[in-house]
Chains A and B, each alone.
Chain A
Amino acid sequence: MSAPRLLDGPSPSMGPERLAAHSRRLGPLPKGGHGLIDLLGHTGLTGRGGAGFPVGLKWKAVAAASRGAAVVIVNGAEGEPHSKKDRHLMTSRPHLILDGAMLAAASVRAKQVVISVGEDHHAALRSMTEAIYERSDHERRLMRIVTAPARYVAGDSSATVHLVDAGIATPTTTPPPPHERGVGGAATLVQNVETLAHVALIARTGTATETVLVTVAGAVRAPGVFEVKLGTPLGDAVQMAGGPSEAARAVMLGGYFGRWVEVADAWSLPIDPHGLRERGLSLGCGVIGILPARQCPVCEVAGIMRYLASESSAQCGPCFFGLRALADACTRIAERGTDPGDLQRLQRWSGEVQGRGACKHPDGAVMFLQSAMKTFGDDFAHHPAHLRRSA
């Protein structure tokens, strides 16, 4: 019998699973602690929010700096435009997430657990709120919910800490990273909701979970969130979404901080953080976006770059002005046709922006653009002048 899955049990379409059903199905919640931290280290679980940081390492660091006053932030901000898997999990399996949060709190000796939910994710907000009221008094006393603004950078760990701390969801300068100095100066564990749900299962079975949540979006017949076994070929996940709704051109893997892959190479890719990293790719936040062949990739990329530029919190000059300049150059190519000067500028500015923000927003945007210019090299080199926009 294979390892349990996050979405086992009643169909997610039936809404949030109540605590009674949840406990009946999975049994009592085991104790957290150093044993669990080591277990997470052995299972090799990595964060599912996008950066893919090893969970065991992060918990160890927070526990070391905790002094019994650490803070656990359950990150359900999900600012990634195409990603739906976090809110899907919050609306269907809230108690799996809260289990993971409590295990984290016990393991890093936290004094409070803050659940950050995107303010637009109304169903998720309701589900998590109701779920908290079903927990024991002791657990309820630890927990509170904050709503995160629907901005791309609001999902950054330092921005989440800043939101909980000061009510302002803008990234702050690191180092020190949140796991050293976070909320109120206390060591803070910022963990994505899916990651914590996996922890809740791993703690019960003692073995690694074998699935990952992905959001299949774009030119597919039935876009949505799917839980796939690690290593599943990307093409199979797309088939779960009803398959391409039309001739596909490329796949955007990992959302707006992810990479582009031509369909020819995409279908066989294994959906597995480690396997993808070996290929210089990343699962990121689990978004699999299908770009239809009829759509111009350059115009698509230009639109996304404009969005990412507009999502800069305007705190760091290189990010704000750099991303804006890159987006403008992309837009010029998209609207007026390729200009060698603009192509050179894109390369030079990419180099100047890379690694020069307080958070990873500029880096993510530049990597995304670089990947696009590599994958769609010919399109960028010979783009005709036309005014079709795709944002």
Chain B
Amino acid sequence: MTKKLELVVDRIKCDGRGLCAEILPERIRLDSWGYPIITPGPIPEHLMGLSQRAVDDCPVLAIALRRAEIHRQKGT
């Protein structure tokens, strides 16, 4: 089975350069203030190359490819 990857943004590192949205419009658009909005879900095979490019070209290393099912929860 091939492991599915999804794009995740570190909101604190991200400073809104917008390269990722330029490189991968298929999955990433910019909000009203220039910060990336990622289409949720695993990246289809034909977009892996560009996704990796978007990750590598981020000037602040704020976007990454992670295993699709990633748990997040916060306590009080």
Direct A–B contact present (CB less than 8 angstroms): yes
| Chain A residues engaging chain B, CB cutoff 8 angstroms | 47-53, 58, 75, 156-158, 172-175, 177-179, 189-192, 195, 315-319, 321-322, 325, 348-349, 352, 356-360
Q: Is A75's CB under 8 angstroms from B76's CB? A: yes
Which residues in chain B, 19-76, are within 8 Å of chain A measured between CB atoms? 31-35, 37, 70-76
Known: A173-B11, A173-B12, A357-B11. A318 touches B31 (CB 8 A): yes
Q: Is B14's CB under 8 angstroms from A316's CB? A: yes
Which residues of A are found within 8 Å of B11, using beta-carbon distances? 173, 315-319, 356-358
Which residues of B are found within 8 Å of A177, using beta-carbon distances? 72-75
B contacts with A: majority SS: loop
Question: Which one of A315, A317, A360 contacts B74 once the chains associate, using CB atoms below 8 Å?
Answer: A360
| A156 CA to B12 CA, complexed, in Å | 15
Known: A322-B33, A356-B37. A58 touches B12 (CB 8 A): no
Which residues of B are found within 8 Å of A75, using beta-carbon distances? 76
Q: Which residue of A lies closest to B66 (CB)?
A: A175
Which residues of B are found within 8 Å of A349, using beta-carbon distances? 32
Which residues of A are found within 8 Å of B32, using beta-carbon distances? 321-322, 325, 348-349, 352
Q: Is A317's CB under 8 angstroms from B73's CB? A: no
Known: A175-B71, A322-B33. A316 touches B12 (CB 8 A): yes
Which residues of B are found within 8 Å of A179, using beta-carbon distances? 75
| A-B CB proximity, top 5 nearest | A49-B76, A47-B76, A321-B33, A316-B11, A317-B35
Q: Which residue of A lies closest to B15 (CB)?
A: A317
Q: Given A157-B74, A318-B11, A357-B11, 11 more contacts at CB 8 Å?
A: A53-B74, A157-B76, A173-B10, A177-B72, A177-B74, A191-B75, A316-B12, A317-B14, A318-B33, A322-B31, A356-B37
| A317 CA to B11 CA, complexed, in Å | 7
Known: A318-B33, A349-B32, A356-B35. A174 touches B14 (CB 8 A): no
A-B contacts counted at CB < 8 A amount to 84
Smallest CB separation, B72 vs chain A (Å)? 5
Which residues of B are found within 8 Å of A322, using beta-carbon distances? 31-33
| A51 CA to B74 CA, complexed, in Å | 8
| A75 CA to B74 CA, complexed, in Å | 14
30 contacts between A and B (CB under 8 A): A47-B75, A47-B76, A51-B76, A52-B76, A58-B75, A156-B74, A157-B76, A173-B10, A173-B12, A173-B13, A177-B73, A177-B74, A178-B75, A179-B75, A190-B75, A191-B75, A191-B76, A192-B76, A315-B12, A316-B12, A316-B35, A317-B11, A317-B14, A317-B16, A317-B35, A318-B35, A322-B31, A348-B32, A349-B32, A358-B11
B15, B16, B72, B74 interface centre (most CB from chain A within 10 Å): B74
Q: Which residue of A lies closest to B33 (CB)?
A: A321
Which residues of A are found within 8 Å of B15, using beta-carbon distances? 317
Smallest CB separation, A357 vs chain B (Å)? 6
Question: Which one of B31, B34, B35, B75 contacts A51 once the chains associate, using CB atoms below 8 Å?
Answer: B75
Q: Is B74's CB under 8 angstroms from A50's CB? A: no
| A315 CA to B34 CA, complexed, in Å | 14
Known: A173-B11, A357-B11, A358-B12. A317 touches B72 (CB 8 A): no
Q: Is B72's CB under 8 angstroms from A195's CB? A: no
| A91 CA to B76 CA, complexed, in Å | 21
B10, B14, B70 interface centre (most CB from chain A within 10 Å): B14
Q: Which residue of A lies closest to B9 (CB)?
A: A356
Which residues of A are found within 8 Å of B74, using beta-carbon distances? 51, 53, 156-158, 174, 177, 359-360
Q: Is A172's CB under 8 angstroms from B35's CB? A: no
Smallest CB separation, B18 vs chain A (Å)? 11
Known: A316-B11, A318-B11, A357-B11. A53 touches B75 (CB 8 A): yes
